[in-house]
A = this chain, B = another copy of it.
């Protein structure tokens, strides 16, 4: 069994309205020390693959097809054997 950890975030230069909303909310609570907020999604998948190479290939495909929108998002992932 392999564990894949995927991080998905907006590409540099793409505005993230959710992170902006969090930043506004933080400031409205009085925390003016907060100068920037970024938000990412993290996915943790358990893969029952025959070897690490297969797990990596499948995870790469899943990222491209489903977890990230390559037009506006970047992703990184790691795969570890359990």
Contacts and interface: CB of A to CB of B under 8 A. Distances in A.
Interface residues of A, number: 33
Contacts of A36: 44-46
Contacts of A29: 62, 65-66
Contacts of A67: 22
Interface in A28-82: 29, 31, 33-49, 54-55, 58, 61-62, 65-67
Contacts of A66: 22, 25-26, 29
A46 B34 contact: yes
Interface of A: 1, 7, 19, 22, 25-26, 29, 31, 33-49, 54-55, 58, 61-62, 65-67
